[in-house]
Amino acid sequence: MSESTVFQVPGTMQDVRLTRHRSAIVKVETQEEMPDALISRLASLTGKDGFFTFSVENIKPEDIMGLPAMPKIDGKTPSQRLRAVLWVLAKQQEIQDEKFEEFYNKKVNYCIEMFKAELEPGS
């Protein structure tokens, strides 16, 4: 990997919070003062999808080999696309913002049940 595609700096993992969607919010504090170019590079990554690797040792190339491809369409993962489409549908159906999570869960569960119905018995 070229230096332009990887952001790497020593840091301390400060906090990890799991979300209800079983993803994680990770807070990392850099251990050293960063030059302006590095700060700019970090800021340019905001909102980008990528891979997070953390090690208490130096990371070797073999530690990051074989990462799966991150599927994207129009810059979004499939789950981000589904959520965005359901957000638009909720707006069109005049669902209030604070009711969106309930609406989202209901629609996703409906999809899950449809696929489960296609499974062979005993699966």
Give the β-pairing of 11-18 and 24-30.
Answer: antiparallel
* pLDDT one-digit tens code per residue, 45-79: 887 778 888 888 888 888 877 777 766 656 777 88
- Tell me the two tokens of residue 96: 């209030």
Q: Which residues of the chain have pLDDT under 70?
A: 1-4, 70-74, 123
CA–CA separation, 89 vs 40, rounded Å? Answer: 37
- Contact assessment for residue 119 and residue 112, using Cβ atoms and an 8 Å cutoff: no
* pLDDT confidence of residue 4: 54
Domain boundaries of the chain, sorted by first residue: 3-63, 78-118
